[in-house]
């Protein structure tokens, strides 16, 4: 019985996302003005704005009494573990699955490190236009979002080996 190479090699990308995320957060903590004071990067569109989030996306559950920290730690561990198992079961040649999963894992672990270390996630990227502003986020969030979008897009638009569109019956 031969063992087929799996997509765990993509964990190098997870490690890169984690390192870039953590380095960018160290920079943000050292270089940016105090919380909430924007530093314009592209006026009218992009600021560096230091913020801390004890909740999840869009500060979901941020007003909790502290239990949410451990909930999100457990959630990140469970989901990351499941995605690593998925990678282990994915053929190495399937980069359309390996790359997005690795980005999601890297982002989840990047934010997990913050939660374990500081009980909050450091955010600093603010995109806005006029009165509209997207919630402040970080590179780990980018990894999760881009990975999820890629996974969905590749799943929707991928053809099978016979060249038939995904979801076709035959």
Residues acting as catalytic residues: 123, 141
Q: Directed axis angle between helix 11-31 and helix 139-157, to 10°?
A: 150
Number of H helices, E strands in the chain: 4, 4
Look at strands 132-133 and 39-42 and give their pairing: unpaired
Question: What is the token pair recorded at 38?
Answer: 């924007």
Residue with tokens 């991928």: 158
The sign one gets for the Cα dihedral 97, 100, 103, 107 is: negative
Q: CA–CA separation, 38 vs 106, rounded Å?
A: 27
């Amino acid at each position: 019985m031969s063992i087929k190479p799996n997509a765990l090699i993509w964990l190098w990308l997870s490690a890169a996302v984690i390192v870039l995320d953590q380095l960018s957060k160290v920079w943000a903590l050292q270089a940016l003005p105090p919380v909430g004071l924007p530093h314009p990067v592209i006026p009218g569109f992009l600021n560096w704005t230091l913020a801390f989030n004890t909740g999840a996306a869009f500060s979901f559950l941020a007003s909790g009494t502290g239990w949410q920290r451990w909930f999100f730690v457990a959630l990140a561990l469970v989901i990351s573990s499941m995605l690593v198992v998925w990678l282990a079961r994915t053929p190495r040649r399937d980069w359309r699955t390996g790359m997005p999963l690795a980005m999601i894992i890297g982002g989840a672990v990047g934010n997990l490190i913050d939660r374990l270390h500081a009980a909050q996630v450091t955010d600093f990227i603010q995109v806005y236009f006029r009165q509209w502003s997207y919630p402040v986020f970080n590179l780990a969030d980018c990894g999760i979002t881009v990975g999820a979008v890629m996974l969905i897009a590749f799943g929707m638009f991928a053809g099978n080996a016979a060249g038939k569109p995904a979801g076709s019956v035959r």
